[in-house]
A and B are shown apart, each in its own frame.
Chain A
């Protein structure tokens, strides 16, 4: 009788513990899931940002712009044919 009572009490405690645990981890899962969602979203945003920056860079390094900067700001120009000399080894 005593043993039976003891077992019942133990099982009840176990059950309660398991149930609390379940609820706790369910909550934990939800939290982690929300976090992954947030990170996924951040990834998408960063990707979009990266694509925008890539586009911005490609306009900044476009051949026509570099040519213009080299010519107008740095006073550079392509050498004429007669200005080119070749070093023979």
Chain B
């Protein structure tokens, strides 16, 4: 009994000891759980998130650039860029060698970079590789190597449109041309989202949907350029620049009705898909380069004369004897033209004729006319880097300057300005700022009397039609325009180098296109605008009228008159 009693006590004591022990364990567990879940919660949560939660960028592409018919001019393609986390690669140099081999990098250099920048979180080692090459890198299965989607810009038209469209740098930021002008429009905003990744690095869930920064892809740009016409204009200009061994050249084609720039070409040019190491071709000379235009300005001097109401197109000016002294400077004509009407002053391009016209009018009036046609001001096309040209204020003109301005010296213009100014004649006296964007048509405003505009149109058509075998002539279409051959200014005077130009429009009865061509410093035997620039004008205009299906207005050879019943019957009988 005693023994059993003793045993009983013993058992309950043991139970108590075990219970106490278990309780202790439980307390320890609870305390530990408390310390982890409550006191250390933040630490462990961040540690956990560090391992599984990632912020990933949602890459977006830059907007594409298209011509007016939807043909691509600049496209972005997705490429893969390879980056490394240097700290994670320090202990696997054998794999780094494989990586360097696949990417065709110098292995030693890469190792140096890894050691030197081991604290950096991320750095690119090779950008914009093809997805195929990227798969080879992925196959190496290395920690510390990351891939990002980046976009490469491609320009299908190459050098034909290079200095107008421009290009982007390695960060996809527009550097030149329209890529730079419309950079904000074209650039998208890459988005960000937070995701949970599992051990294998697969994304398992999106979190923080609310804070997700939405990705906004870049917007597309539709230019007013017509790729076919651009190509024809480029070939025409390039051929002429080569043939006459000229330093450079530009040509602009404007739609008279809308002010849209249908083509804009320059020589020299460059390949936007290759390295841009030549500086010469990068400029869009049509809008950045200014020069003294010469005789192509004479029609504007004639506008001033007609506005004064002292002259009509039939008024006669005596230009004998072919020399005329103004303020100590002697103005020459090609020869003694005798008495010339205003029309013939333009046809013969008489320097003395225009000088006599404007000297009687007052400086302010001529300045005002030039100003109204947009000289000395930016054309309003919005092209970044566009030059406003140069038109000195009339208060600073001496009499000799006054005469010089009438024949296109002492002021500087761009080829685009010339094209815009001539389109005023073609557009019933209304000026419309040119545009590079399809459908973005600027308001036009009347700057001269429509009557004077039509008189000038008529006079300018005589310039081409009255000169036998004029190189600006286009079969079946009437053409109006004016040549220019200006000496290029040098330090201390004028050189023997010339700027040859031709600006004109067609068809005269209902003008559709304005083409301005300027060729800088032709070094062959020919340098007159009529011989160098006019053939380019005619070639571009001819192609343009054909491409736009403009009806002929001056038919020289007809096949059959369908309204003539006899002719039609005769055709049937035959």
- Interface residues in chain A, defined as those with a beta carbon under 8 Å from any beta carbon in chain B: 29-30, 33-34, 37, 44, 47-48, 51-52, 54-55, 58-59, 61-64, 81-82, 84-89
Task: State A64–B72 Cα separation when bound (angstroms).
Answer: 15
Q: Closest residue to B228 on the A side, CB-wise?
A: A63
| Interface-central residue, A44, A52, A62, A63, by most chain B CB under 10 Å | A63
Task: State A87–B204 Cα separation when bound (angstroms).
Answer: 71
A33 is contacted by which of B76, B204, B555 (Cβ under 8 Å)? B204
Separation in Å of the A12 CB from the closest CB of chain B? 26
Note all chain B residues with C-beta closer than 8 A to A54: 72, 75
| Range for the number of chain B residues in contact with chain A | 20 to 34
A-facing residues in B226-241 (Cβ within 8 Å) = 227-228, 231-232
B369 interfacial by beta-carbon distance below 8 Å: no
Cβ of B131 and Cβ of A48 under 8 Å apart?
A: yes
Note all chain B residues with C-beta closer than 8 A to A61: 71
Cβ of B78 and Cβ of A29 under 8 Å apart?
A: no
Overall SS of chain B's interface: mixed
Cβ of A51 and Cβ of B78 under 8 Å apart?
A: yes
B390 interfacial by beta-carbon distance below 8 Å: no
B561 interfacial by beta-carbon distance below 8 Å: yes
B6 interfacial by beta-carbon distance below 8 Å: no
A-B contacts besides A58-B156, A63-B160, A63-B228, 7 pairs, CB < 8 Å: A47-B78, A51-B77, A58-B72, A62-B156, A81-B475, A86-B476, A86-B558
Note all chain B residues with C-beta closer than 8 A to A44: 78, 149
Separation in Å of the A43 CB from the closest CB of chain B? 11
Cβ of A48 and Cβ of B78 under 8 Å apart?
A: yes
**What are the interface flags for B532-558 relative to A under an 8 Å C-beta threshold, 1 for contact and 0 otherwise?**
000000000000000000001001011
B562 interfacial by beta-carbon distance below 8 Å: yes
Task: State A77–B205 Cα separation when bound (angstroms).
Answer: 62
Cβ of B562 and Cβ of A87 under 8 Å apart?
A: yes
A87 is contacted by which of B77, B78, B205, B559 (Cβ under 8 Å)? B559
Cβ of B71 and Cβ of A89 under 8 Å apart?
A: no
A-B contact pairs, 13 of them (CB 8 A): A33-B204, A34-B204, A47-B78, A48-B77, A51-B78, A55-B72, A61-B71, A63-B160, A64-B231, A81-B475, A84-B475, A84-B557, A86-B559
Q: Closest residue to A26 on the B side, CB-wise?
A: B205
Task: State A76–B180 Cα separation when bound (angstroms).
Answer: 40
Task: State A44–B79 Cα separation when bound (angstroms).
Answer: 11
Task: State A88–B203 Cα separation when bound (angstroms).
Answer: 70
> Contacts A84-B476, A86-B555; is A55 near B156 (CB within 8 Å)?
yes
Cβ of A63 and Cβ of B131 under 8 Å apart?
A: no
Task: State A34–B203 Cα separation when bound (angstroms).
Answer: 8
Q: Closest residue to B232 on the A side, CB-wise?
A: A63
Note all chain A residues with C-beta closer than 8 A to B563: 88-89
Task: State A84–B202 Cα separation when bound (angstroms).
Answer: 68
Note all chain A residues with C-beta closer than 8 A to B555: 86, 88
3 closest cross-chain pairs (CB), A and B: A58-B156, A63-B231, A48-B78
Cβ of B76 and Cβ of A51 under 8 Å apart?
A: yes
Note all chain B residues with C-beta closer than 8 A to A85: 557-559
Task: State A48–B203 Cα separation when bound (angstroms).
Answer: 22
Q: Closest residue to B78 on the A side, CB-wise?
A: A48
